[in-house]
Chains A and B, each alone.
Chain A
Amino acid sequence: MKSLTLPLLLAGLLLASAAHATDAEHIRTSHAWIRVLPGALPAGAYVTLENDGDQPVALRGASSTVYTEVMLHRSSREGGMSRMSMVDALEVPAHGKAELAPAGYHLMLMQAKAPVKPGDTVTLTLQFGDGSTLATDFIARPANAMDAGDKHTMPAMDHGAMPHGH
């Protein structure tokens, strides 16, 4: 029995993956950047995810060879208080997009194994609900950067508002 189950399962998986593209194959990334902070302080990573598929895709987190730990976080504001909380997933709607941007969702990067300087490129591997992954290059930006540096395409600061939760 045992010898038969595995090949069958594998065949099934192969069929399934042939019929449906993985979550990662439906996601396009842009404006990927990291706000680099001095010393060993944790950094925030931001990226815009676009989903061209008919099904929503869940971003579950990310991993990196440069940072020991990467966590999906969300900043929020309640009653004049700022706080951060861990989140399990961020949904990228079908034919829609989700933004990881300052004062909202972000990837918290902890304990860099080697110093990351502004101008460096760091690859983070995004992980999606179906287990598929997408290696994405993030540009490291100085602490006082407002965005990825590709200004004309970042509408986030149009209102000149101070940071606030969603």
Chain B
Amino acid sequence: MKPRHWLRPALLLLLLAAGVLLGGCDRGKPLPFRLTNISGHMPDLDFKLTDDNGKAVTGADYRGKVALLYFGYTHCPDVCPLTLAQLHVVMQRLGPLADGARILFVSVDPARDTPAIMHAYVNAFDKRAVGLVGDARSVEALSKRYRSAFTREPGTADGSYEVSHSSAIYVFDRDGRARVLATPSASQDDLVHDLHLLLDTGATP
């Protein structure tokens, strides 16, 4: 066989190149996140809640998607809508890649937030947003799982009340593993950057 003399080095080069490529996706090698890296420090995405279509869902239903978890409530006229509007901008900036991501908006106000209200609410922001509700215990379990917190403020005379809540956004990869935490002061550019890292890889790193 005549071409043998060059085939061997070519194969070797190919293997080397493949090795480099695979190395980039190696489990042990951390992705160059810009936001707070929480890989290995927070539990996987797991919950039992009801989505805004009234369907019972668990964390496993969102495997295959990059999930952005945010706690809030619909009677929050300022910060929650601003955060969701900003997440919408982030999704727009991701272009078609955004289809691989879901915004999971978990209500910490189960008394007032029904699936129907949540449905109208999340869809006013982004079609890739999902509203999640549950009984007080399930929501508390989920928020505790991520060391998130919320409290109900003393009510006013007309029975209305405010809820203070954790303002962080937790980002999970396609395998449901917690990867980064976006604090409210984090920049939109950094969130877009890190979501690119999680979405571009196709398979999970």
B116 to A, closest residue via Cβ: A39
User: Contact at B85–A41, with CB atoms within 8 Å?
Assistant: no
User: Contact at B78–A80, with CB atoms within 8 Å?
Assistant: no
User: Contact at A38–B186, with CB atoms within 8 Å?
Assistant: no
Digit string of A65-80 for contact with B (CB within 8 Å is 1, else 0)?
A: 0000000010101001
A3 at the interface (CB under 8 A from B): no
B80 to A, closest residue via Cβ: A82
Q: Give every chain A residue within 8 A of B121 (Cβ-Cβ).
A: 37-39, 41, 143
Q: Give every chain A residue within 8 A of B77 (Cβ-Cβ).
A: 35, 37, 41-44, 106, 108-109
Digit string of B64-102 for contact with A (CB within 8 Å is 1, else 0)?
A: 000000000011111111111110110000000000000
Contact status of A44 and B124, CB under 8 A, knowing A80-B167, A81-B164 = no
User: Contact at A77–B188, with CB atoms within 8 Å?
Assistant: no
Q: Give every chain A residue within 8 A of B76 (Cβ-Cβ).
A: 82, 84
A35 to B, closest residue via Cβ: B81
A17 at the interface (CB under 8 A from B): no
Q: Give every chain A residue within 8 A of B89 (Cβ-Cβ).
A: 144, 146
User: Contact at A75–B79, with CB atoms within 8 Å?
Assistant: yes
Contact status of A37 and B74, CB under 8 A, knowing A81-B167, A144-B126, A163-B83 = yes
A155 at the interface (CB under 8 A from B): no
Q: Give every chain B residue within 8 A of A146 (Cβ-Cβ).
A: 85-86, 89
Task: Identify the interface centre among B86, B121, B125, B168: most chain A CB within 10 Å of its CB.
Answer: B86
B188 to A, closest residue via Cβ: A160
In the bound complex, CA of A43 to CA of B88 (Å) = 18
In the bound complex, CA of A161 to CA of B185 (Å) = 6
In the bound complex, CA of A125 to CA of B77 (Å) = 19
In the bound complex, CA of A82 to CA of B148 (Å) = 12
Q: How far is the CB of B192 from chain A (nearest CB, A)?
A: 9
In the bound complex, CA of A106 to CA of B76 (Å) = 12
Contact status of A77 and B184, CB under 8 A, knowing A82-B167, A162-B83 = yes
Q: How many residues of B contact A (CB 8 A)?
A: 41
B89 to A, closest residue via Cβ: A146
- A residues 3-53 near B (Cβ < 8 Å) are 35, 37-39, 41-44
Contact status of A81 and B78, CB under 8 A, knowing A160-B189, A162-B83, A164-B185 = no
Q: How far is the CB of B121 from chain A (nearest CB, A)?
A: 6
In the bound complex, CA of A110 to CA of B76 (Å) = 11
User: Contact at B162–A44, with CB atoms within 8 Å?
Assistant: no
A145 at the interface (CB under 8 A from B): yes
Q: Give every chain B residue within 8 A of A81 (Cβ-Cβ).
A: 149, 164-167
A56 at the interface (CB under 8 A from B): no
Q: Give every chain B residue within 8 A of A37 (Cβ-Cβ).
A: 74, 77, 81, 121, 124
- B residues 103-136 near A (Cβ < 8 Å) are 117, 120-121, 123-126
B85 to A, closest residue via Cβ: A144
A152 at the interface (CB under 8 A from B): no
B187 at the interface (CB under 8 A from A): yes
Contact status of A161 and B75, CB under 8 A, knowing A82-B164, A146-B89 = no
Q: What residues make up the interface of B, taking CB atoms closer than 8 Å to A?
A: 74-86, 88-89, 117, 120-121, 123-126, 149, 153, 160, 162, 164-169, 182-189, 191
Could you list 19 further interchain pairs (A-B, Cβ under 8 angstroms) beyond the known A37-B124, A162-B184, A164-B167? Answer: A38-B121, A38-B124, A42-B75, A44-B78, A44-B81, A80-B168, A80-B183, A81-B166, A82-B167, A84-B78, A102-B78, A144-B124, A159-B187, A160-B187, A160-B189, A161-B184, A161-B185, A162-B86, A162-B186
